[in-house]
């Protein structure tokens, strides 16, 4: 299965999803093997990149990204997938709804070689955690400074003419 279009270093292509059978248990899992260029979309054009026999996959169990409102629905009957719907793909392939991303060392020469031979280019094994602390610091300090300036403007403001007359009136 191909998910795409996807870009890699400015080039158009697809992510290759392959259901692989696990040794021993006989269960099948979905493996995101990586990116291939658009010119190698068809399997006959990338025979060297097709797994045969026993394959060892080094990867990470990840939760795939979710569909957003701009992404069209998958069309499995036409073989068009725009986002990884693991449940849907598992039903079609008869595999478990498990998503594994194949990883590889970030080596530019190896990536160019794999691309030329039609072997999918996997992602680097990195875990990206959200870190918005700097954004939070700037937000809260900016709000604090803004409210301090507004309070200073209210306190520093000279009284209006009417308020001054009321204060100086002795006939209360």
Instruction: Report DSSP letters for 70-136, one per residue.
Output: TSPPPBGGGTBBSS--HHHHHHHHT--S-EEEEB----HHHHHHHHHHT--BPBP--------HHHH
Q: Cβ neighbours of residue 18 under 8 Å, at least 6 residues apart?
A: 1, 30, 31, 33, 51
pLDDT for the residue 144? 96
What pLDDT, in 10s, does the model give residues 14-53? 999 999 888 887 889 999 988 988 988 888 888 888 878 8
pTM: 0.67
């Amino acid at each position: 299965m191909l998910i795409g279009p996807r870009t890699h270093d400015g080039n158009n292509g697809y992510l290759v999803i392959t259901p692989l059978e696990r040794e021993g248990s006989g269960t099948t899992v979905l493996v995101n093997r990586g990116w291939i260029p658009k010119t190698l979309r068809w399997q006959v054009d990338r025979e060297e990149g097709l797994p045969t026999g026993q394959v060892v996959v080094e990867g990470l169990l990840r939760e795939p990204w979710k569909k957003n409102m701009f992404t069209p629905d998958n069309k499995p009957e036409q073989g068009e997938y725009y986002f990884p719907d693991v449940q849907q793909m598992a039903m079609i392939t008869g595999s478990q709804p498990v998503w594994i991303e194949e990883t590889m060392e970030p080596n530019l020469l190896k990536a160019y070689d794999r691309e030329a031979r039609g072997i999918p280019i996997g992602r680097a094994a990195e875990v990206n955690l959200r870190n918005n602390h700097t954004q939070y610091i700037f937000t809260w300090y900016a709000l604090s400074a803004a409210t301090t300036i507004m309070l200073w403007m209210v306190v520093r403001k000279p009284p209006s003419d009417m308020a001054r007359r009321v204060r100086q009136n002795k006939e209360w």
